[in-house]
């Protein structure tokens, strides 16, 4: 997999925060009157939360999605966000278009810049070494 400067655990920690920002963006940035943009933000944010919660890494609820599939999901979501203002016809709306393009670029850069190392995805003991966590 790709080796970037962003540690996998940082990516895993930031993803739910960014998903919440994406879900709340229409109201934070004042474009909640653009229905398509609002729907896209909510749906993609929920997909991001679900993907992060189900990825086979340390910070997940269910270890179901392999790292490679999560990486591909991030790329697809980034591309979808980038193209959505033009596909759904609100490209002439400045606020949501700018937000989605900037968010999409950040999503793509973060995905491409993450160190997708399965070794980092393993659970850690309280001492910080990799292995199985003990209670």
Structure confidence by residue, pLDDT tens digits, 92-127:
999 999 999 999 999 999 999 998 877 776 754 344
State the sign of the Cα–Cα–Cα–Cα dihedral 99, 101, 105, 110.
Answer: positive
Burial environment of residue 108 by CB neighbours within 10 A (0 to 12, 13 to 18, 19 or more): middle
Residue 53 in this model has a pLDDT that exceeds 80: yes
- Pick the range with the lowest mean pLDDT from 16-20, 78-82, 120-124, 128-132: 128-132
- CA 93 to CA 33: how far, in whole Å? 11
DSSP H or E segment with residue 75: helix 67-87
Residue 134 in this model has a pLDDT that exceeds 70: no
- Cβ partners under 8 Å of residue 59, min gap 6: 9, 12, 13, 52
The pLDDT of residue 58? 76
The pLDDT of residue 63? 86
Tell me the pLDDT of the chain averaged across its residues.
87
Enter the pTM of the model: 0.84
Work out the average pLDDT over 59-86: 92
The pLDDT of residue 115? 87
The pLDDT of residue 81? 97
| SS3 of residue 62 by DSSP | coil
Longest CA pairwise span in the chain (Å)? 55
The pLDDT of residue 119? 77
Domain boundaries, the chain: 6-121
The pLDDT of residue 123? 54
């Amino acid at each position: 997999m790709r080796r970037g400067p962003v540690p996998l655990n940082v990516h895993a920690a930031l993803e739910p925060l960014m998903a919440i920002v994406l879900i709340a963006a229409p109201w934070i940035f004042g474009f909640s009157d653009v229905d398509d943009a609002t729907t896209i933000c909510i749906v993609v944010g929920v997909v991001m939360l679900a993907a992060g919660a189900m990825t086979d890494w340390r910070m997940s609820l269910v270890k179901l999605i392999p790292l490679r599939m999560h990486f591909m999901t991030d790329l697809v979501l980034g591309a979808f966000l980038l193209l959505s203002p033009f596909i759904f016809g609100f490209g002439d709306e400045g606020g949501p278009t700018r937000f989605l393009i900037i968010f999409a670029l950040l999503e793509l850069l973060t995905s491409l810049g993450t160190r997708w190392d399965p070794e980092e995805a393993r659970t850690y003991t309280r001492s910080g070494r990799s292995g199985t966590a003990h209670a």
